[in-house]
Amino acid sequence: MSSQIVIDPITRIEGHSKITIHLDDAGEVVDAQFHVTQFRGFERIVQGRPIHEMPSIMARICGICPVSHLIASSKACDAILAVEPPPTGADLRRVMNLAQIVQSNALSFFHLSSPDLLFGFDADPAKRNILGVAQANPQLARDGVGVRRFGQQIIEWLGGKRIHPAWVVPGGVDAPLSAETRDRILSTIPEAMAAIERALAWYKSSLLRWEDEAASFGDFRSAFMGLVDEAGNVDYYDGRLRVMDADGNLLADRTDPRDYQEYLGEAVEPWSYLKSTYWKMLGYPDGVYRVGPLARVIVAAQMGTPRADLELDEFRRRLGRVPASSFHYHYARLIDTLHAAERIDELLRGPDILSPRVRSFADVNANEGIGVSEAPRGTLIHHYRVDDDGIVEWANLVIATGHNNLAMNRSVRQVAKRYVKSAQLSEPMLNRVEAVIRCYDPCLSCSTHALGEMALHLQLIGPDGAVLDEIRR
Ligand code: MG
Ligand code: NI
């Protein structure tokens, strides 16, 4: 008799989801699936809305990464207006996008994943949380709070004290930056950088503890995708696509991301509301690729800022040019965060950053527009079609968690095969199944276009479909 394990909902990730693990007659894991189970359908909701409302509507897809949607949506609107934001407007958008990267990465690393990394995956769940971290390593917990606040404050200071800032608009941004706000942000950068570097030093000192987990947390050959600039360095705002295979060969380079439909397929599986994106050239499901911090540090020649580049060199010395395990998302996420803080500093010291010219105005000049940027979790694509009056007729979003869906499923399967030892659920197995999902930091709010609590439902299912064991928490 075979069986199935279901984890539903998953804890310490953003949103609602469920995991099922299928066992064969011998009690061995034959399959595992990561299901995204809620749906709100923003692609449909926006039909009939005027184009100028799109950025602020799209920001409401997600309470975790609203700025990412603001940026990609505004870029799609720029294309429909056929305008370029003035250079200062584009730089101010970049600053806000980087601040979103910092605050979201900090939430993932410090609040959600550091308890496992500090106490171990077998530790007592009662202390394996951020409060336990605050007791055992107060500096690490303080740094987590501090780095996240650093990113959030920048978003608030730029956009006004709103959860969903409407400061990023089609054509640029709504208001120029004041010298006072610039100086206030600049004054917070040194402490944020010091905190990120302390976290990097701590993480590197414990890297060897996790060799066993690294060998099963999504350790497989795949491609990686991210945006890069003219020099081949990471670019979060308007780069071009680079796709690198597991051997470091380029499958695509400086490819226009607006042609995404030529390269990326979107498969729909009956068990999930989350579409699985794949690299068409390699077919489905072989065209699995990963996006997000690990992909960004892999595909880029360099980060392009001094301190992050030193860290990237060390990362490559330790792990090689294309590390295969998704466990290394954590390490990459810290380098990504350090780079974002350095770039915010560089951008704010630019000679024209206080220019009053921050927005271009135009009417509808095209019936279609695509906006692409790097969100904390990876490449984000907004694609709209409008009528001649600028009323939205059709919208498609390709979100980071969808790019990673195939890789996440493969990773869950690998962890289940390694750690599921019987037709019963055990806490160490359960925690590792959740932890491998957390490596990707999936934004299920975005995936389902719904806001949700973090929760987990796991089911262990036999060959006849019977539920052998299950946990909800
Ligand atoms: Mg879509
Ligand atoms: Ni999100």
**Average pLDDT value for the chain:** 89
pTM (whole model) above 0.75: yes
CA of 60 to the centre of ligand 2 (A): 9
Phi/psi-derived region of residue 248, left when phi > 0, alpha when psi is between -120 and 50, beta in every other case? left
Model confidence pLDDT, tens digit, residues 260-316: 999 998 887 766 667 788 999 988 878 999 999 999 999 999 999 999 999 999 999
Percent of the chain topping pLDDT 70? 90
Query: pLDDT value at position 158?
Result: 94
Query: pLDDT value at position 445?
Result: 62
Query: Is 259's pLDDT higher than 70?
Result: yes
3-state helix, strand, coil in the chain (%, to 5): 45, 20, 35
Model confidence pLDDT, tens digit, residues 180-200: 999 999 999 999 999 999 999
Q: Pick the more confident residue, 15 or 424.
A: 424
Model confidence pLDDT, tens digit, residues 452-463: 334 667 788 888
CA of 377 to the centre of ligand 2 (A): 8
Cβ neighbors of 426 (< 8 A, separation 6 or more) are none
List Cα–Cα distances, 125 to 115, 290, 432, in angstroms: 9, 29, 12
Least confident of 26-40, 278-292, 385-399, 429-443: 26-40
CA of 355 to the centre of ligand 2 (A): 31
5-23+32-446, which class in CATH?
Answer: mainly alpha
Query: Is 449's pLDDT higher than 50?
Result: no
Average pLDDT rounded to a whole number, residues 194-220: 93
By the CB criterion, residues less than 5 angstroms from ion ligand 2 are: 62, 64-65, 443, 445-446
Please confirm whether the linkage preceding 285 is cis (ω < 30° from 0): yes
On the CB side of 365, CA atoms within 13 Å amount to: 13
Question: Measured in Å, how far apart are the chain's first and last C-alpha atoms?
Answer: 27
Average pLDDT rounded to a whole number, residues 19-37: 81
3-state secondary structure of 82: coil
Query: Is 14's pLDDT higher than 50?
Result: no
Confidence of residue 146 (pLDDT cuts 50, 70, 90): very high
Query: pLDDT value at position 7?
Result: 55
Query: pLDDT value at position 234?
Result: 98
CA of 209 to the centre of ligand 1 (A): 39
Query: Is 468's pLDDT higher than 90?
Result: no
Q: Is the sign of the CA dihedral 334, 339, 341, 344 positive or negative?
A: negative
Model confidence pLDDT, tens digit, residues 48-103: 999 999 998 998 888 788 899 999 999 999 999 999 999 999 999 999 999 999 99
CA of 26 to the centre of ligand 2 (A): 40
3-state secondary structure of 18: strand
Ligand nearest to the CA of 44: 1
Q: Which amino acid, 77?
A: C
Query: Is 450's pLDDT higher than 90?
Result: no
Ligand nearest to the CA of 260: 1
Query: Is 162's pLDDT higher than 60?
Result: no
CA of 336 to the centre of ligand 1 (A): 26
CA of 64 to the centre of ligand 2 (A): 5
Listed by start position, the domains of the chain span 5-23+32-446
Q: Pick the more confident residue, 27 or 249.
A: 249
